[in-house]
Structure 1
Amino acid sequence: MTFAKIGLQVPTILLPRPGTDMSKWAVIACDQYTSEPEYWQRVSAAVAGHPSTLNLIFPEVYLEQAGGESRIAEINTSMRRYLDAGILQEEPKPGFILVDRQTSAAPSRKGLVVALDLEEYAYSEGASTLIRATEGTILDRLPPRIKVRQGASIELPHIMVLIDDPERTVIEPLFERELEEVYNFELMENGGRVRGWRVNDAVSLGQVAAALGRLAEPARFAEKYQVQGRAPVLYAMGDGNHSFATAKAIWERLKEQAADQQAIMDHPARYALVELVNVHDPGLEFEAIHRVVFNADLAAMEAQAAEFYQAQGASFRCERCADPMAAAEAARRLAQPGRHLIPFTAAEACGLFVIDNSPLHLVVATLQAFLDRFLEHNAAARIDYIHGEGPVTALGSKEGNVGFFLPAISKHDLFKTIILDGALPRKTFSMGDADEKRFYLECRKIVR
């Protein structure tokens, strides 16, 4: 069943067969803990000998290691084996999965697993599609992901897509219905608990589609955001932007190669499985994504920052502080309109980058513009995007590293910002800390 006007498909979901140890089946998104291989080593040891989504994904901590092609081949083999052996089984009929996730930070975060139409998505600048990117897409990050997906027989999402539903008309009413529970278990590595229910009756499916349709009505959209002549945005990418862009790239390639353009439009790869989350859900919080630059000389970085910002028409200075807490306190004390304050920590010093009159509106954009330039001119340096202040302090304080702390943006401003300004700088925000990210759980076939 497809609701074409709102880019929604009712998918046939695959779940592990009864009796599977779900705490070993579900593992966290592949783009987490990318600078902490010990996390993934613990996960590997914990799931050894058990059916697990770890065997179906490519943790990005290993992307730069040798043996990538053989790892991808093993992933594709495991997907086929899980299907052929009945480890993954189709749900009784097409439907959604209603999700309630408990984490250490929130007692409940509600979501709905659905399939979205990739024909309604574009990540190019100025896109006017129903599904929009919320941050810049790094094209260099797509090829390794494409290699994994292009030979895959199933997809399993860590993608979370946001809807702007302040009246709570789409997801929340489903919790008032009597639905059949399909899973309820503790997640590994302090991931909290997750429960899921089948949503496959005609009344519930129709209610979801109708509520989404109302959110996308042009007149209502224009009034809500005080804009005229803008194409409605119904879905905004939350987590998994590059995974969704990868699915789009594979779909476009399939269309290009198809001999029958009409027949290809029914291909299952046209859709991507995601979890919808209401941006107004009390359990959803936006966290900052911090930066750590490796193989960087702090003195050289300061000198290059001063030169870069001066060329941008801004002023730059660096304030030294005793420790990260003192830098954060200095940032509060020195705050004023038009000033961007960015605390940092390194082995030799802690402090604060102070930039006045930046041409960019967001602090993250001001920093990222410089870091992009720094990486271009310092071949040995590399960057990682880190969730949580603790890991930034630990990594940034090591010799040769510099860690930067960034502020979070308000989730309530997200949709209007996307509508008016377009996609945000890459890695602007995160929906929770690393252990709050979506765990791989539901699957769907993407081959005929």
Structure 2
Amino acid sequence: MEELGLFLPEILLPREGIDLTKWAVIACDQYTSERDYWEKVKEFVGHSPSTLHMIFPECYLEEGNPGQRIKRIHSVMRQYLKEGILSPQPPGLILVDRKTRYSSRNGLLVAVDLEQYSYEKTTGGDAGAPLIRATEETILNRLPLRIKLRESALLDLPHLLLLINDPDERVIEPVARARERLPKLYDFDLMMESGRLTGYRVDDPRLLAGIAGGLKELAARAEKDGDRLLLIVGDGNHSLAAAKAV
């Protein structure tokens, strides 16, 4: 998959015994005008280990001294690593199943080659058009704070959604159908009535080969149509742009 800009990620998960409902929070750029939501999350989490303590919810951007909040975030990251809150996982992908009251959606957790990504507006006809592109205009003045947060961060908590056009369901669906024989990594209710999240380790060579083969087929089809586009950033483009800038 490397030639397509995708890799097996280095994944850390909370160790056994951590309350995962308190650990997992929504992306930092959600509920930006509803501080009350984040205050309820803060009250629910308390002092428990949580990603809440390692992100910068954008509803607080207008507060004074953002540098102090960033220092606290970096301090928590160091603390969690020192105390063994996070456990390294073997090489592989994760099949993610997100259930809500309305539907269930599957995805694969992968690592992205930032050299294959651009947040600038390009089209398939452009020479050297990247395989991974944004679907929204990047607001450059939103990047400096995100860059500052990442510069000394020991951990990355991405909230990206990368979308593929796979009408034949060659990439994700075969893995989802095999979930019953995959090791289950987590299965828990999300806070604030946000549904349920289940993750399965994907390290079976046959499944990984099938994923790679399906992606290569999509890339070849796109190139034949005159556009090298393979993945579009459906959410989290500014986080990805900040990561590339660091």
Is TM more than 0.5 here? yes
Tell me which residue corresponds to 1:332: none
Q: Which has the higher contact order (CA 8 A, sep 6+)?
A: 2
2:94 is matched by which residue type in structure 1?
A: I
Is 1:190 aligned to residue 197 of structure 2? no
- Once residues 50 and 222 of structure 1 are traced to their aligned partners in structure 2, the CA distance between those partners, rounded to angstroms, is 48
Deviation for aligned residue 1:12: 1.9
Q: What is the percent sequence identity of the aligned residues?
A: 51
Partner of 2:139: 138
CA drift at 1:104: 2.5
CA deviations 1:27-65 (Å, max 9, x no partner) are 000001111111101100111121000011000000110
TM-score, with length taken from structure 1 = 0.52
Correspondence for 1:268? none
3-state DSSP of counterpart to 1:100: strand
The amino acid across from 2:245 in the alignment is A
The 8 Å contact of residues 185 and 194 in structure 1, kept in 2 or not, is answered as yes
Q: Is 1:199 the equivalent of 2:195?
A: no
Count of residues in correspondence between the two structures: 239
Map of 2:109 onto structure 1: 113
What is the SS of the residue equivalent to 2:135? Answer: coil
Number of the residue aligned with 1:243: 239
CA contact (8 A) 1:129 1:231 kept: no
Q: Which amino acid aligns with 1:76?
A: H
Amino acid at match of 1:210: G
Look at both structures and tell me which one has the larger radius of gyration over its CA atoms. 1
- CA deviations on 1:254-282 (whole Å, 9 max, x unpaired) are xxxxxxxxxxxxxxxxxxxxxxxxxxxxx
The residue number in structure 2 matching 1:67 is 65
Whole-angstrom distance in 2 between the partners of 1:85 and 1:231 = 47
The answer as to whether partners of 1:102 and 1:192 remain within 8 angstroms in 2 is yes
Note if contact 2:119-2:237 (Cα within 8 Å) is conserved in structure 1.
Answer: no
Counterpart residue number, 2:32: 34
Partner of 2:76: 78
Task: Give the distance between the partners of 2:70 and 2:134, measured in 1 at CA.
Answer: 27
State the 1:222 CA deviation.
5.1
The one-letter amino acid paired with 1:97 is I
Equivalent positions of 1:37-48 (< 5 A) are: 37-48=35-46
User: How many angstroms apart in 2 are the aligned matches of 1:35 and 1:11?
Assistant: 33
Q: Distance in 2 between matches of 1:50 and 1:13?
A: 21
Q: How much has 1:205 moved relative to structure 2? A: 1.6
Other-structure match for 2:165: 164
Q: Does 1:4 align with 2:7?
A: no
- The answer to whether 1:13 aligns with 2:11 is yes
Moved beyond 3 Å, runs of 4+: none
Answer yes or no: is the 8 Å Cα contact 2:77–2:155 preserved in 1: yes
Q: 1:134 touches 1:237 (CA, 8 Å); kept in 2?
A: yes
Aligned to 2:121: 125
Secondary structure of the corresponding residue to residue 200 of structure 2: strand
Give the Å deviation of 1:231: 3.6
Cα deviations by residue, 1:282-309 (Å, 9 ceiling, x for unpaired): xxxxxxxxxxxxxxxxxxxxxxxxxxxx
d(CA) in 1 for partners of 2:34, 2:81: 31
Q: Is the 8 A contact 1:96 1:200 kept in 2?
A: yes
* Structure 1 residues 58-102: Cα deviation after superposition (integer angstroms, max 9, x where no partner): 0000011013111100101111111111101101x1111101101
Q: Could you tell me which runs of 5 or more consecutive residues in structure 2 were left unpaired when the two chains were aligned.
A: 124-128
